[in-house]
């Protein structure tokens, strides 16, 4: 098949999926979106590190065939569209991709490209593993106790885009309906939004989260919600999550109540404990008792806040990785923005994108290459070789640019 916006690398083969399980050739084609602002710097540096790790780990028998696909400013310059329709098709056809950050102007008329990608490709699980790497500056006394993966629902909740601007005829119609037919009231001239949360979307997220915990032999899956206030959206989210655990993973999960009532507080071998916590107290527990969490499942907005707050505990968004995953398509991404003031300055920390690539290598089953990067990264931090953001928080650090940081990681492999 030919495409208008990209050339498929002749040296690569397609990754396919059978019933949700990936078939990965030794020369898989992986799509990348460079990203705006600092995207070019961090993508170039990270690709060199991923390639070096794969080369050193598999001695040349495996190699990623990179295929650039376009979104954001580069897409607009080349093809006159910030999000060419073909980009979605390429992701559907090639399944695995990685992206730098994309600019989202504030205000009306321009939908977030990131949200558009998630929704168009139905990438419903936003997965953010948050763990500390030795040497990374942290505000916590014991950052090593943080090792938590957030599964944030990524396509519904208040991100669904169902909003009606104050003063428009649509808003007036909805306000009239709500007042006259539903018997509710609110201030005149309110902007109105709808927050849909469905059993379908909640359950498929919870299924992925439980499988993730089982695959990694983790102890807890915690449902984070504000169901005490929003009973039929967040409260229902909690309920549906518990239903998935009880109905589909009965032999592999127990609830927190069962843990205490039947097992004296000690989980039987191999069972994941499913519990729930209200959103506000979850933030406190993340700081004070992080070891009580392994996987956290959250609706979209709560999960958004929680992921960044957690990232701050172990080094900030400059190194926090992420992925948006659907049934087969997975798009890994830097979680920070485009930091436009640092564009092309060879300055910023490539860590967030770099570790998103580590997640990607794990996702395609190349675990040893992923581990090699993590080890080399820690060695580099041991040597106090860091980019500006960490240098300002460390005594005696050697500050280097994005490229030189990548060089040091490669040297330490
Ligand atoms: P930002 O780009 O994340 O930058 C905020 C600050 O975070 C930077 O000024 C810098 O702080 C620090 N930072 C970000 N990335 C870093 C890195 N790799 N290394 C070191 N420090 C880093 O957030 P923003 O300024 O709010 O957003 C800018 C644009 O990005 C907006 O258009 C926004 O919509 C977009 N955005 C995109 C995504 C995405 O594509 N996933 C996510 C968020 C925002 P210091 O200057 O203090 O060093």
- 46 ligand 1 Cβ < 6 A: no
pLDDT band per the 50, 70, 90 thresholds, residue 1: confident
The stretch 190-204 carries a mean pLDDT of 97
- 28 ligand 1 Cβ < 6 A: no
Nearest one of 245, 247, 246, 226 to 235, comparing CA atoms: 226
Quick one: residue 297, left, alpha or beta (phi over 0 = left, psi -120 to 50 = alpha)? beta
| Residue of 32, 101, 115, 331 to test ligand 1 pocket, by largest number of atoms within 8 Å of CB | 101
β-pair type (330-334, 385-386): unpaired
Structure confidence at residue 118 (pLDDT): 87
The CA 336 to ligand 1 mean position distance, Å, reads: 5
The CA 300 to ligand 1 mean position distance, Å, reads: 20
Structure confidence at residue 104 (pLDDT): 77
The CA 292 to ligand 1 mean position distance, Å, reads: 30
Burial class (CB in 10 A: 0-12, 13-18, 19+), 295: buried
Structure confidence at residue 105 (pLDDT): 62
Structure confidence at residue 335 (pLDDT): 87
The stretch 210-233 carries a mean pLDDT of 95
Q: How many helices (H) and strands (E) does the chain have?
A: 14, 17
Whether residue 316 has pLDDT greater than 90: no
- Other Cβ atoms within 10 Å of 138 Cβ, number: 18
The stretch 357-378 carries a mean pLDDT of 96
Ligand 1 atom nearest the C-alpha of 350 is: 18
Count CA atoms closer than 13 A to 320's CA, side-chain side: 27
Strand, coil or helix: 65: strand
Whether residue 188 has pLDDT greater than 60: yes
Structure confidence at residue 30 (pLDDT): 98
Burial class (CB in 10 A: 0-12, 13-18, 19+), 178: middle
Packing angle between helix 300-313 and helix 279-288, nearest 10 degrees? Answer: 20
Structure confidence at residue 108 (pLDDT): 53
Whether the model pTM is above 0.85:
yes
Is residue 295 a contact partner of residue 218, using CB atoms and an 8 Å limit? yes
What per-residue string of b and e applies to 72-111 under the rule 16 or more CB within 10 Å gives b?
bbbbeeebeebbbebbbebbebbbbbbbbbbbbeeeeeee
Collect all residues with Cβ–Cβ distance below 8 Å to 320 and sequence separation of at least 6: 128, 130, 307, 308, 310, 311, 314, 335, 336, 352, 355
pLDDT in tens, 161-184: 899 999 999 999 999 999 999 999
The stretch 358-377 carries a mean pLDDT of 96
Packing angle between helix 199-215 and helix 236-248, nearest 10 degrees? Answer: 50
Cα–Cα separations (whole angstroms), residue 332 to 17, 41, 69, 170: 17, 17, 14, 37
The CA 104 to ligand 1 mean position distance, Å, reads: 11
Structure confidence at residue 208 (pLDDT): 95
DSSP string computed for 260-282: HHHHTT-PPTTPEEEEEEEHHHH
DSSP string computed for 18-53: ETTEEE--SSBEEEEE--STTHHHHHHHHHHHHHHH
Average pLDDT of the residues of the chain: 94
Both tokens assigned to 387: 């980019």
The stretch 407-411 carries a mean pLDDT of 98
d(CA 342, CA 41): 10
- The protein residue whose alpha carbon is closest to atom 45 in ligand 1 is 389
Ligand 1 atom nearest the C-alpha of 35 is: 40
> For a pLDDT cut of 70, what percent of the chain falls above it?
98
Whether residue 109 has pLDDT greater than 70: no
The CA 111 to ligand 1 mean position distance, Å, reads: 18
d(CA 211, CA 296): 13
Nearest one of 99, 93, 98 to 13, comparing CA atoms: 93
Catalytic machinery residues: 159, 226, 280, 304
The stretch 133-148 carries a mean pLDDT of 91
- 25 ligand 1 Cβ < 6 A: no
| Residue of 336, 386, 387 to test ligand 1 pocket, by largest number of atoms within 8 Å of CB | 336
d(CA 80, CA 283): 43
- Other Cβ atoms within 10 Å of 191 Cβ, number: 11
Q: Which helix or strand (DSSP H or E) is residue 403 part of?
A: helix 402-411
Whether residue 106 has pLDDT greater than 70: no
Structure confidence at residue 113 (pLDDT): 86
Beta strands in 181-319 (DSSP E): 192-193, 220-225, 253-255, 272-278, 295-298
- 205 ligand 1 Cβ < 6 A: no
Q: What share of the chain is helix, strand, coil (3-state, %, to 5)?
A: 45, 20, 40
Ligand 1 atom nearest the C-alpha of 339 is: 2
Nearest one of 150, 157, 160, 123 to 298, comparing CA atoms: 150
The DSSP secondary-structure symbol of 108 reads: T
pLDDT band per the 50, 70, 90 thresholds, residue 110: low
Range in 108-122, 188-202, 260-274 the model is least confident about: 108-122
């Amino acid at each position: 098949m030919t495409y208008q916006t990209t050339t498929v690398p002749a040296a690569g083969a397609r990754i396919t999926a059978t019933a949700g399980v990936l078939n990965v050739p030794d020369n898989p084609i992986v799509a990348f979106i460079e990203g705006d602002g600092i995207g070019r710097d961090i993508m170039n540096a990270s690709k060199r590190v991923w390639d070096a790790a794969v080369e050193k780990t598999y001695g040349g028998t495996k190699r990623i065939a990179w295929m650039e696909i376009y979104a954001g400013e580069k897409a607009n310059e080349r093809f006159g569209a910030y999000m060419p329709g073909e980009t979605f098709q390429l992701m559907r056809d090639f399944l695995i991709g990685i992206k730098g950050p994309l600019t989202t102007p504030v205000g009306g008329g321009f939908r977030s490209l990131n949200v558009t990608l998630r929704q168009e490709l139905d990438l419903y699980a936003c997965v953010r593993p948050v763990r500390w790497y030795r040497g990374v500056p942290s505000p916590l006394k014991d950052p090593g106790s943080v090792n938590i993966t957030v599964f944030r629902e990524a396509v519904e909740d208040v991100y669904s885009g169902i909003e009606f601007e104050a003063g428009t005829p649509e808003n007036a119609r909805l306000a009239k309906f709500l007042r006259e037919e539903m018997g509710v009231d609110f201030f005149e001239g309110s902007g109105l939004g709808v927050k849909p949360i469905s059993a379908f979307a909640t359950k498929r997220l919870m299924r992925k989260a439980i499988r993730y915990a089982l695959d990694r032999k983790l102890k807890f899956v915690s449902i984070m919600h504000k169901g005490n206030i929003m009973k039929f959206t967040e409260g229902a989210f909690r309920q549906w999550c518990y239903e998935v655990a009880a109905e589909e993973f009965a032999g592999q999960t127990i609830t927190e109540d069962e843990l205490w009532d039947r097992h004296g507080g000690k989980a039987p071998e191999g069972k994941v404990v499913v519990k729930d916590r209200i959103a506000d107290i979850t933030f406190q527990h993340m700081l004070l008792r992080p070891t009580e969490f392994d996987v956290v499942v959250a609706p979209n907005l709560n999960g958004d806040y929680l992921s960044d707050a957690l990232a701050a505990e172990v080094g900030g968004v400059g190194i926090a990785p992420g992925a948006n995953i659907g049934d087969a398509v997975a798009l890994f991404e830097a979680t920070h923005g485009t930091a436009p003031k640092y564009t092309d300055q060879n300055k910023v920390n490539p860590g967030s994108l770099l570790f998103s690539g580590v997640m990607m290598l794990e996702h395609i089953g190349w675990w040893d290459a992923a581990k090699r990067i993590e080890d080399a990264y820690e060695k580099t931090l041991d040597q106090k070789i860091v980019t500006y953001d960490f240098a300002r928080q460390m005594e005696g650090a050697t500050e280097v640019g994005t490229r030189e940081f990548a060089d040091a990681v490669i040297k330490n492999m």
